[in-house]
Homo-oligomer: A and B are copies of this chain.
Amino acid sequence: MLTTKKTIRRQFILDEAAKLFKEKGYGGTSMRDLAGNVGLEAASMYNYIKSKDEILELICQRIAGIYISQLAEIEQTPQATYAAKVEALIRLHIRLMVEEGPAVSVANHDWKYLPEPQLTAFKQARKSYEQGFARLIEQGVAAGEFQALHPSVALFTILSAVRWVELWYRPGRELSAEELENDIVAMLLSGLAK
């Protein structure tokens, strides 16, 4: 059995931690704060996690893994155009934001507090992800599907434009997740101007 009672409880701690880290930052969240939200004393949590660092590490690792596997999936899916690939990747991104808001927020903002072996690993993983995404854009430009923008500019514009979703999206807002997705894709691929 992989989902023992212990791993479930641990995941609960990680989820609560992600919410708090998002709200108050990694440094601004104390183990006693977290314990309060979890419903335990601070000391008791050490039955489930090794350290505060490890909490951050597990959250960042999980999200990085999802990002990378999503890119791999898109890369090896034979699709008509590069525009279709980029669009699909944008949509996966947005869905991840909606479904895993707090954890993604932590991976986006608090990764810099990772302790040293993991910090380098995370930065490297992110870099290789960005390079893979940039390659898709380059190929699209070379194929004449995209405007001749500098690939890095297009890449970071997309990545950043998608990031605010995690800050903004609340289930039950006037805008559905689907409409949101369509509008962002339209904006990024076709632009605001008519």
Interface residues, chain A, CB within 8 Å of chain B? 23-28, 83, 86, 109, 112-113, 137, 140, 144-147, 149-150, 152-154, 156-164, 168, 175, 179-180, 183-184, 186-194
Contacts and interface: CB of A to CB of B under 8 A. Distances in A.
Nearest to A175: B150
A184 B156 CA distance: 10
B194 A146 contact: yes
Contact of A175 (B146, B152, B175, B183): B152
A150 B24 CA distance: 30
B159 A164 contact: yes
A191 B194 contact: no
Contacts of A187: 147, 149, 153-154, 157, 188, 191
Contact of A191 (B109, B153, B159, B191): B191
A193 B186 contact: no
A100 B56 CA distance: 30
Contact of A190 (B83, B147, B158, B175): B147
A149 B192 contact: yes
Contacts of A27: 25-28
B175 A164 contact: no
Given A109-B109, A149-B192, A164 B168 contact: no
Given A175-B152, A183-B150, A193-B145, A188 B25 contact: no
